[in-house]
Amino acid sequence: MINEMLQKLNAPSPLEITGERVATKEEWEKVRPLVLKSMLENEYGYMPQEPASVTFEETFFDDRRYCAGKAIFIKLNITAELNGEKFTFPVTYVYPKKGKKHKTIVHINFRDNVPDEYMPTEEIIDSGFACASFCYKDVTSDDGDFTNGLAGVIYRGKERTPFSCGKIAMWAWAAMRVMDYLQTKEEVDKECIAVAGHSRLGKTALLTAAVDTRFACAHSNCAGCSGDALNRGKTEGNEFIGHIVKNFPFWFCEKYKEYADKDNETPFEQHFMHALIAPRKVHVASAEKDIWAAPPQQFLACVAADEVYRLYGKKGFIYEEDDFLKAGKYLNDGNIGFCYREGTHYFSRDDWHGLMDFLNKD
């Protein structure tokens, strides 16, 4: 039933981007750059350039009282040099005192609070994870102003081209700089660093891991349209490309506007992002009442990406027919995980526990 639902959508496959179907992982790795190029040119825009240098200044250190003395709390500034200018943004990093190496989550957050309504820090610590978080607006504003923060350093007052980066690519670039910092920390398990975000920042998390292979996993929380949900097959009540490019054109490159009202005709699909992360992990969280995000299309995107993982001999998306949109069950046994819960558009504790369960799987 589920595969039939997907087949009816007639979605393009990343394995067929050249017109001939890829059959091995070696062939896939040759065409993977073309798939990434397509997603950048058509949706997100080219990534900001690599910085000439990155430095880290720890401005606050607490090893006595945070989380009842169970955790070490650090505030820091990350400074990157690009286009001959320096750009600085703040980050908060918390890790457990117990244990030698910690699986770590980079959380691209809507606020700079620690803990936050979207980030139950003590529960994360108690589960043995570290968390480095930053507020996305400390990187650049969430609007059409391309003169402030990182946007101002990149554009320098110049007009955007059809393929110039939007705000999502800038927030993803900042998450990569947090990864630069984590590479310097002895207590971090470098083999298990995930990036996580909710809604527009879930889209950002997918792009981050697709571009930066140092990330072992991307967690996309209720990202929906232009994120973790297929464009094709949406119904009334779902968000379409036309909605998102009208309301938030600055998240994407200018070319993406061409696909307004063409959701069923795009030459790419959102599961291309999942595929670009293979054979690493992708985790998607979806909510029963988050109709705007199109939960059926979120589930089917995971199904569609499975074929790339199979090329690597990896378990992709593991599910049974009656698992389709079954609230309260973790589908975390493959390298693509899916958690569907009751409730609305929100980054909940259930989502965090689903992610941590997924990261603890072998």
Distance CA 327, CA 307 (A): 25
Residues labelled catalytic: 199, 345
Distance CA 129, CA 123 (A): 9
State the pairing for strand pair 130-135/85-96.
antiparallel
Quick one: three-class SS letters along the chain? CHHHHHHHHCCCCHHHCCCCCCCCHHHHHHHHHHHHHHHHHHHHCCCCCCCCEEEEEEEEEECCCHHHHCEEEEEEEEEEEECCEEEEEEEEEEEECCCCCEEEEEEEECCCCCCECCECHHHHHHCCCEEEEEEHHHCCCCCCCCCCHHHHHHHCCCCCCCCCCCHHHHHHHHHHHHHHHHCCCCCEEEEEEEEEEECHHHHHHHHHHHHCCCCCEEEEECCCCCCCCCCCCCCCCCCCHHHHHHHCHHHCCHHHHHHCCCCCCCCCCCHHHHHHHCCCEEEEEEECCCHHHCHHHHHHHHHHHHHHHHHCCCCCECCCHHHCCCCCEEECCCCEEEEEECCCCCCCHHHHHHHHHHHCCC
